[in-house]
């Protein structure tokens, strides 16, 4: 992994998420639902990293950047980077069971990453009684996960174009 370029892409992703993607969020009866660009970057890094350590570090960086942008009362700093690192390392471990380039694979893995990471985040909110009702939180979680699953193939396709600069060619071109 070429770390400087990955950090620049991650920063561009977080800036894009906090500016342009705010227009894509919409209000429902259970709360706000919208895309999380960093999930797509995490899926790409988990699918195309050279090692599990690289995937976990990528996830940690993405979670840390997302953690820095949260202004509302949130769980303690550091929970989101650990969740992202664990989820991307887990996806790296199971990636050989899937075809990396397939859109359906990327969508399913993005959905599962959202459910795992934000499901644990939601359980923290429920544990400290900050969530009004767990059912509303779960419905909002499913909505965000579906939204992320829809946009992840687009993000992976864009990142694949920069892949030769980001990831060594022997890893990027290796077919399943």
Specify if 174 maps to a domain.
Answer: no
Identify which of 175, 176, 170 has the alpha carbon closest to the alpha carbon of residue 51. Answer: 170
Residue 175 included in any domain: no
Contact predicate 17/95, CB 8 Å: no
Residue 138: inside a domain, yes or no? yes
Ordered DSSP codes for 68-98: HH--SS-SPTTHHHHHHHHHHHHHHHHGGGS
pLDDT tens, position by position, 126-174? 787 776 678 888 898 999 999 999 999 999 999 988 877 777 655 555 5
Whole-structure pTM value: 0.89
Give the structural domain span for 143: 3-20+33-167
Specify if 116 maps to a domain: yes
Is residue 173 domain-resident?
A: no
* Residue 176 lies inside a defined structural domain of this protein: no
How far is residue 10's CA from residue 92's CA, in Å, rounded to a whole number? Answer: 19
26 within domain boundaries = no
Does residue 82 sit within a domain? yes
What is the per-residue pLDDT across 17-54, written as a single tens digit (0 to 9) for each? Answer: 999 988 888 888 888 898 899 999 999 999 999 899 99
Distances (CA, A) of 176 to 28, 99, 131, 157: 40, 6, 42, 17
Q: How many domains does the chain have?
A: 1
């Amino acid at each position: 992994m070429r770390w400087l370029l990955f950090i620049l892409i991650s920063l561009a992703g977080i800036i894009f998420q906090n500016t342009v993607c705010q227009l894509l969020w919409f209000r429902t009866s259970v709360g706000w639902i919208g895309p999380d660009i960093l999930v797509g970057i995490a899926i790409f890094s988990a699918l195309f990293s050279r090692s599990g350590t690289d995937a976990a570090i990528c996830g940690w960086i993405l979670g840390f950047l997302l953690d820095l942008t949260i202004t509302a009362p949130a769980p303690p700093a550091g929970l989101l980077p650990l969740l992202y690192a664990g989820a991307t390392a887990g996806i790296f471990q199971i990636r050989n069971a899937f075809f990396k380039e397939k859109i359906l694979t990327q969508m399913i893995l993005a959905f599962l990453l959202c459910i795992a990471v934000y499901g644990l985040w939601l359980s923290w909110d429920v544990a400290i009684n900050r969530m009004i009702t767990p059912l509303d939180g779960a419905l909002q979680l499913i909505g965000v996960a579906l939204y992320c699953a829809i946009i992840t193939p687009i993000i992976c396709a864009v990142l694949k174009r920069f892949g030769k600069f980001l990831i060594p060619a022997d890893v990027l071109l290796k077919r399943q």
